[in-house]
Amino acid sequence: MTEHLPRYRPPRWLRSGHLQTVLPSLFRTVGGVAYRRERIDTPDGDFLDLDWSEASGGGASRLVVVSHGLEGSSDRAYVRGMARAFNRIGWDALAWNLRGCSGEPNRLLRSYHSGATEDLDAVVRHALSRGYAAVGLVGFSLGGNLTLKYLGERGDAADARVVGGVAFSVPCDLAASAARLARPENLAYMRRFMLSLLPKLEAKRARFPGRLPDVDVSKIRTFAEFDGAYTAPAHGFASAEDYWRRASSRSFLPGIRRPTLLVNALDDPFLAPACFPEAEARANPHFHLLTPRWGGHVGFMHDRLDGTYWSEQVATAFLEEVARGASGARRAA
């Protein structure tokens, strides 16, 4: 299903994984997206904030659910860009905010993590209750891991209206990615993540005294230390390593039974070799892997920061084809 997708050939000055990672993250802006916010409750007493962007004219029968990355939100340019791209081809878009990422702290000690597909399931179920004929999933980085894991967990049991998924820049082997990001050349990325994560950890410790390990938060520098101090104990994992093993989407790829595309750039500074699941793609006809030479982490820009990105062209083309095929199969039945 990938032979008809557009190929990625950026201009020479953008053939750098670091430039592709940094420039869109810091400088891209996306207009033409007007969100309408909705809050839904979760079964465990928390909440999720959803941002809807409807196609012009209303009455769309197709919806894309967009999942953002670590410490992102529905307001990130890559999410807004994807919502705009689908709106332009007549799909509604639902960009959901993971717990604690919508601008307001969530209610519980737990928040979100790479394997928390129960929240994505709650969002998909809510979306399906609106009567859409077809729902596609798009995820970036951590949100891509959620997307792949969700589809792999459900397999044939996934709702028939969930037609497929696309994931970009996914650390599908969390242990390998954590080790890659701990390397000296990625120190700037790690520091940026920690500047966002550590204040949230301090706030959790203040709101829930005695519920987390007694560690010096100021000394946390890596995901191994952060996940050991917070992610694992707050979400029922024995250790950071246990969390990485159980939450990594790579082990769930054989279970995928909807057309699903993973796009990981070979120059992505966040991804180790274990994050390129070539054997799984060869073994599962429903799972497809694209590994462009360039693109960085959640990059894939052309020559303009504010234009349409290659990732948006790929996702819309893939899911449009998948949705047409699913609609044709239903009519034939």
Q: pLDDT grade, residue 331 (50/70/90)?
A: low
Asked if 109 and 209 touch (Cβ cutoff 8 Å), the reply is no
More confident residue, 284 or 1: 284
pTM for this model (two decimals): 0.97
Q: What is the pLDDT of residue 327?
A: 72
Fold of 12-173+253-328: Rossmann fold (3.40.50)
123-132 per-position pLDDT tens digit? 999 999 999 9
Among candidate residues 68, 177, 268, 286, the one labeled active-site is 268
Give the pLDDT mean for 177-187: 97
- Structural domain boundaries in the chain: 12-173+253-328, 185-247
CB 47 within 8 A of CB 106: yes
Cβ atoms of residues 262 and 144 within 8 Å:
yes
> Catalytic: 268?
yes
- Write the pLDDT tens digit of every residue in 12-55: 999 999 999 999 999 999 999 999 999 999 999 999 999 999 99
**Residue 147, token pair as written in the block:** 């997307």
Residue 333 has pLDDT above 70, yes or no: no
pLDDT tier for residue 4 given thresholds of 50, 70 and 90? confident
Dist CA 238 CA 236 (whole Å): 7
Predicted confidence at residue 58, as pLDDT, reads 84
Q: How confident is the model at residue 251 (pLDDT cuts 50, 70, 90)?
A: very high
53 forms beta bridges with: 93
What is the pLDDT at residue 184?
97
Average of per-residue pLDDT values in the chain:
96
Which residue of the set 67, 141, 169, 177 is catalytic? 141
Kindly write down the DSSP assignment for every residue of 250-294, as one continuous string: GGGGGG--S-EEEE--TT-TT--GGG--HHHHHH-TTEEEE--S-
Beta carbons within 10 angstroms of residue 160's beta carbon: 11
Angle value at C-alpha 175, between 173 and 176, nearest 5 degrees: 70
Q: How many CB atoms lie within 10 A of CB 56?
A: 8
Alpha-carbon distance 128 to 27, whole Å? 35
Q: What are 135's strand-pairing partners?
A: 63, 162
What pLDDT, on the 0 to 100 scale, is given for residue 311?
A: 98
Instruction: Provide the CB-side half-sphere exposure for 121 (13 A, CA).
Output: 15
Name the catalytic one among 111, 235, 297, 311.
297
Residue 332 has pLDDT above 70, yes or no: no
What percentage of residues in the chain have a pLDDT greater than 70?
98
Give yes or no: 18 in active site. no
Q: Which pLDDT band holds residue 62 (cuts at 50, 70, 90)?
A: very high
Amino acid residing at 279: A
Torsion 234-166-35-302 (CA) sign: positive
Q: Does 49 participate in catalysis according to the annotation?
A: no
